[in-house]
């Protein structure tokens, strides 16, 4: 490969990219919007513990307690309680049995059922159990023997309370990456549409030089912006190396996707037509972060899952190499496969 030629082509592609008003607007305005969206989202989680209580019989301490940070709302039925928990109205639902007073009087263990949403962290579950026991203690003035059973409404996932804006970070980063896919695909398809590729192919430039230059341009544009975004939204505080590597692989992935899109596109409109389904598909895994438990394992067939999941875990939970190495290996596999297929198809198109 000839690095002088590659450098010349990269400079040319960057110059052309920033002369296209549409991509310039999408890139700059989009970037600013993503940062603004991040900063206007809530930066903290609601620390008030909102509990729903179904109590067929009135238990004075349960009725009276309204301590700071603990809000209890009474619900008419156990079914209504479950529905309210699923809808996110309460962090947890507490259902007291009808015979609680009798069982306490006869020194039997009443069974108190707790309902949680799938993304409630373990600490929160433990806190609620402790509160229930505390309330029971307040009722009798001595520790009581009670049974507490938990039920997860929907698939269980582990997690920690994460501000909504931090949950959005992988989504916004994926959007930045994907916009660059469209930009690069358009640049490449224009080379074919305007036949400039033929002019390049009769110079000492080789097809390898061309793909190296296009890859550098695509990866540079996508990686640079994604990292700048993460730096601006303070997403590089935890595991910065992992995040950098993940975004580098993510930029490679979208470059490969850009090769695929441009290999089947003839002009800007067809780039747009192919890019939109690709965008939608690549966004799907971000739902797993925004709505934990809402999606199932099938999303693991979508390559962007491994970018989203790794960034989410590293940036929001501080997950280390031991936790995410498999994600990175799979991501490398996807990058190589998609880029190779894209290059083969484009090569055929150019020649």
Q: Which of 68, 106, 202, 301 binds another protein (CB under 8 A)?
A: 202
Residue 196 interacts with another protein (CB under 8 A)? Answer: yes
Q: How many helices (H) and strands (E) does the chain have?
A: 14, 5
Distance (Å, whole) CA 198 – CA 154: 57
Residue 199 interacts with another protein (CB under 8 A)? Answer: yes
Cross-strand bridge partners of residue 73 = 52
Residue closer to another protein (CB basis): 199 or 231: 199
Pick the closest to residue 313 from 166, 177, 124, 116 (CA basis).
166
Residue closer to another protein (CB basis): 43 or 194: 194
Q: Show the binding pattern over residues 141-180: x = contacts another protein (CB under 8 A), - = does not.
A: ----------------------------------------
Q: Show the binding pattern over residues 115-134: x = contacts another protein (CB under 8 A), - = does not.
A: --------------------
Residue 200 interacts with another protein (CB under 8 A)? Answer: yes
- Report the alpha-carbon angle 295-300-302, nearest 5: 100
Residue closer to another protein (CB basis): 201 or 228: 201
239 touches 318 (CB < 8 A): yes
Query: Rg of the chain's alpha carbons, rounded to an integer?
Result: 27
Q: Which of residues 16-35 bind another protein (CB under 8 A)?
A: 16, 19-20
Residue 15 interacts with another protein (CB under 8 A)? Answer: yes
Q: Which of residues 218-277 bind another protein (CB under 8 A)?
A: none
Q: Which of 129, 206, 279, 299 binds another protein (CB under 8 A)?
A: 206
Alpha helices in 110-206 (DSSP H): 122-140, 164-193, 196-201
48 touches 251 (CB < 8 A): no
Distance (Å, whole) CA 4 – CA 17: 20
The least distance separating another protein from the CB of residue 7, rounded to whole angstroms, comes to: 9
Q: By CB under 8 A, name the binding residues for another protein.
A: 4-5, 8-9, 12, 15-16, 19-20, 194-196, 198-206
């Amino acid at each position: 490969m000839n690095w002088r030629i590659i450098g010349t082509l990269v400079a040319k592609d960057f110059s052309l990219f920033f002369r296209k008003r549409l991509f310039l607007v999408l890139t700059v305005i989009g970037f600013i919007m993503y940062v603004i969206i991040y900063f206007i989202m809530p930066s903290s989680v609601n620390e008030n513990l909102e509990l729903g209580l179904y109590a067929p019989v009135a238990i004075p301490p349960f009725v009276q307690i309204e301590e700071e940070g603990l809000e209890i709302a009474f619900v008419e039925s156990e079914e209504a309680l479950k529905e309210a928990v699923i809808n996110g109205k309460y962090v947890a639902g507490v259902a007291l049995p009808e015979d609680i007073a009798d069982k306490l009087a006869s020194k039997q263990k009443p069974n108190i059922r707790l309902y949680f949403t799938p993304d409630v962290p373990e600490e929160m579950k433990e806190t609620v159990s402790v509160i229930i026991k505390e309330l029971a203690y307040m009722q009798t003035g001595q520790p009581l023997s009670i049974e507490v059973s938990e039920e997860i409404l929907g698939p269980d996932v582990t997690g920690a309370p994460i501000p909504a804006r931090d949950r959005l970070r992988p989504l916004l980063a994926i959007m930045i990456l994907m916009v660059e896919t469209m930009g690069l695909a358009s640049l490449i398809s224009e080379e074919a549409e305007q036949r400039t590729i033929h002019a390049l192919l009769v110079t000492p430039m080789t097809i390898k030089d061309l793909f190296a230059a296009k890859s550098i341009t695509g990866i540079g544009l996508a990686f640079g912006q994604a990292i700048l975004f993460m730096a601006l939204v303070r997403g590089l505080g935890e595991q910065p190396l992992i995040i950098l590597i993940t975004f580098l692989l993510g930029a490679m992935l979208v470059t490969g996707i850009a090769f695929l899109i441009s290999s089947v596109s003839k002009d800007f409109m067809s780039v747009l037509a192919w890019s939109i389904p690709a965008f939608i598909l690549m966004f799907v895994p971000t739902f797993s972060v925004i709505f934990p438990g809402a999606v199932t394992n099938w999303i693991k067939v979508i390559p962007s899952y491994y970018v989203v999941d790794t960034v989410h875990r590293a940036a929001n939970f501080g997950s280390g190499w031991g936790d995410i190495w498999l994600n990175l290996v799979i991501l490398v596999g996807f990058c190589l496969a998609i880029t190779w297929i894209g290059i083969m198809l484009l090569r055929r198109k150019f020649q």
